[in-house]
């Protein structure tokens, strides 16, 4: 390769890096709270440890997982599915919130859950069936009725939360299936979300929940996680490495 060709190649690589960097910055500036607090990329994974709670056994529902105290759960985004013109990200497992089954106890995890962004409404929606999305997270605040998830709310923000994976600031605390007529602090399913990470803490309420649930709260805390960068950022890193090798 001639000297002029090498110079031209370097210029092209530099121009590409600058373009991708600007694009990445613009995308970051446009990122909604949903995208910030719930990163969806295939390969993302989160591992949680169960610190408190009694074991739950429900052999009648094979799609539900009931871990024992001290056990670990790992959730991974294993692919995408196109449904009704929308891209859904498929989790192999995810935390269950909602009512108990007619003849069983509350599960902790349900398998094969689909999520998608609704950036216009600044929300995350969880998919249940074609044409029917249930709002799991609403980042605009306030309360919303999420069908079988019950009454939900963004209870608090700017929370500092410590878990085995580290200390996270600016966390959001969501509650699902709470009963305001019992009181402002009535027991409910709770999740804490950290920016650029996702769910770092999940709490299933104990015996003061107004139904059949008994025993202690079940608390899962984030132990480790892997967040895959956006494809454009991976290309940017690759071009940067190529430029460095060429310069050396």
Q: Is 171 exposed, middle or buried (0-12, 13-18, 19+ CB in 10 A)?
A: buried
Q: What is the pLDDT along the chain (248 residues), one digit of tens a residue?
A: 555 555 554 554 444 444 444 334 333 334 689 999 999 999 999 999 986 544 444 455 555 555 555 678 899 999 999 998 999 999 999 988 776 655 555 567 888 999 999 988 889 988 877 678 889 999 988 889 887 777 899 999 999 999 999 999 999 999 887 666 555 555 678 899 999 999 999 987 765 444 444 456 778 999 999 999 876 554 444 544 544 455 55
Measured at the alpha carbon of residue 121, what is the angle toward residues 204 and 232, in degrees to the nearest 5? Answer: 90
Q: How far apart are CA 93 and CA 119, in angstroms?
A: 23
pTM value is 0.74
Instruction: Give the structural domain span for 243.
Output: 3-27+233-247
Same domain, 125 and 147: yes
Q: Kindly calculate the radius of gyration of the chain based on its CA atoms and give it in whole angstroms.
A: 21
Question: How confident is the model at residue 55, as a pLDDT?
Answer: 45
* Together in a domain, 120 and 104: yes
Q: Are 20 and 232 in contact (CB under 8 A)?
A: yes
Is the domain of 103 the same as that of 80? Answer: yes
DSSP-derived secondary structure letter, 165: T
Same domain, 15 and 46: no
Residues 243 and 122 in one domain: no
- Whether residue 97 sits in one domain with residue 195: yes
Spatial CA neighbour of 214 closest among 132, 105, 99: 105
Residues 102 and 135 in one domain: yes
CB 124 within 8 A of CB 94: no
- Residues 172, 188: one domain? yes
Residues 120, 161 within the same domain: yes
**163 and 192 part of one domain:** yes
Tally of domains within the chain: 2
Same domain for 171 and 190 = yes
In contact, 211 and 227? CB cutoff 8 Å:
no
Same domain flag for 15 and 113:
no
Closest residue by Cα to residue 193 from 217, 175, 216: 175
Q: At what angle do helices 3-30 and 231-247 cross, to 10 degrees?
A: 150
Coil, strand or helix at 191: strand
pLDDT at position 48:
94
């Amino acid at each position: 390769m001639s000297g002029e060709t090498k110079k031209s190649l370097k210029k092209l690589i530099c121009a590409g890096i600058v373009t991708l960097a600007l694009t990445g910055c613009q995308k970051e500036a446009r990122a909604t709270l949903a995208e910030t607090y719930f990163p969806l990329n295939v390969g993302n994974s989160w591992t949680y440890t169960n610190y408190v709670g009694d074991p739950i056994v429900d052999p009648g529902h094979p799609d539900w997982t009931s871990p024992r105290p001290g056990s670990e759960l790992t959730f991974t985004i294993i692919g995408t599915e196109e449904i009704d013109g929308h891209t859904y990200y498929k989790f192999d497992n995810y935390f269950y919130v909602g009512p108990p089954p007619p003849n069983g106890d509350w599960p902790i995890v349900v398998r094969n859950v689909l999520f998608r962004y609704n950036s216009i409404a600044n929300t995350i929606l969880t998919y249940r069936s074609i044409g029917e999305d249930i709002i799991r997270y609403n980042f605009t605040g306030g309360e919303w009725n999420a069908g079988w998830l019950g009454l939900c709310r963004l209870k608090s923000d700017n929370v500092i939360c410590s878990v085995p994976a580290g200390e996270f600031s600016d966390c959001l605390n969501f509650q699902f299936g709470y009963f305001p007529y019992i009181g402002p602090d009535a027991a409910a399913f709770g999740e804490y979300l950290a920016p650029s990470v996702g769910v770092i803490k999940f709490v299933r309420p104990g015996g003061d929940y107004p139904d059949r649930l008994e025993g202690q709260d079940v608390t899962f805390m984030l132990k480790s996680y892997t967040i895959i960068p956006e494809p454009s950022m991976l290309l940017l890193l690759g071009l940067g490495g190529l430029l460095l090798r060429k310069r050396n």
